Amino acid sequence: MQQINLADGLVWFDNTLLSEADIGSVFEPEYWSKLNKVIGSAKGRGTTWFVQGEQVPMALRHYRRGGLFGKLVKDQYLFIGWERTRCYEEFMLLKHLRQCGVNVPRPLGAKANKVGTLFYRADILIELVSGARDLVALLKNSKVEHNVWYAIGEEIAKMHRAGVCHTDLNAHNILLDGDNQVWLIDFDKCEKREGKNWQQGNLDRLLRSFQKEKNKAGITFNEESHWRWLTEGYSTIQLTQ
């Protein structure tokens, strides 16, 4: 990982995968649209832009607040040190997860920009999982087989074995690629934790998300089969090594 100082901020990046000379600009969607290299987008809290980098396709996300406070201060966070910025923490967490063998996309770059002395804004570039769809989109139109539900459970257990708590584990943050490989995404605000009393909370939240999307998006989801398969997969992985 390489680090570069900008006039008002810092960039951390993987120079084997992110080789653009103008490293300060690659976190701006306009840079990519001028080059005609925006290849897609997805709506979550804000827009995640899919762009074609020199080496790999990437997902570009600007950090935004949710909730009521977010309407007032859309994208600024209190600065308490470069290594405590949201983008740096997510970048390092993704690195850790990959080292532990969890299927998460590779982090490519993170940028934090000071706004005055108290606040900062942040962006992140992550490898794009090509051809991936999230579970909500998939379960609306097609069937997910037993072995895939099982694999989703296994991947969540691997994340827990790596000691990582996903504070927003929901059906939109689990992707399947064209080969039905499972990918976990969206690790903003997630963190490493000790002990045994938070893992079940992640699973409970995911179950609630599936139940919610049954009404909201009309997905096919059955607790007696689908969820049971997922938890079977989960329990095959030893959480402590």
Ligand X SMILES: Nc1ncnc2c1ncn2[C@@H]1O[C@H](COP(=O)(O)OP(=O)(O)O)[C@@H](O)[C@H]1O
Choices 2-10, 30-38, 169-177, 233-241; region in contact with ligand X by CB under 6 A: 169-177
Site membership for ligand X, residue 226 (CB under 6 A) = no
Nearer to ligand X, 40 or 232 (CB): 40
Site membership for Mg ion, residue 188 (CB under 5 A) = no
**Cα–Cα distance, 241 to 228 (Å, whole number):** 24
User: Residue 121 class from Cβ within 10 Å (0-12 exposed, 13-18 middle, 19+ buried)?
Assistant: buried
**Cα angle: 16, vertex 31, 24; to 5 degrees:** 55
Site membership for ligand X, residue 129 (CB under 6 A) = yes
Choices 100-108, 179-187, 190-198, 215-223; region in contact with Mg ion by CB under 5 A: 179-187
Active site residue 22: no
Site membership for ligand X, residue 172 (CB under 6 A) = yes
Torsion angle of C-alpha atoms 185, 42, 76, 2, degrees rounded to 10: 60
Residue with the CB atom nearest ligand X in the bound state: 44
Q: Which of 8, 75, 134, 168 is catalytic?
A: 168
Site membership for ligand X, residue 86 (CB under 6 A) = no
**Cα angle: 44, vertex 94, 15; to 5 degrees:** 105
Residue list 18-57, contact with ligand X (CB under 6 A): 42, 44-45, 48
What angle, rounded to 10 degrees, do the helices at 146-161 and 199-216 form? 140
Residue list 5-64, contact with Mg ion (CB under 5 A): 44
The answer to whether the beta carbons of residues 213 and 183 sit under 8 Å apart is no
Q: Which residue type sits at 80?
A: I
Residues that bind ligand X (CB under 6 A): 42, 44-45, 48, 59, 61, 105, 126-129, 132, 134, 172-173, 175, 185-186
Residues that bind Mg ion (CB under 5 A): 44, 172-173, 186
Residues with catalytic annotation? 168
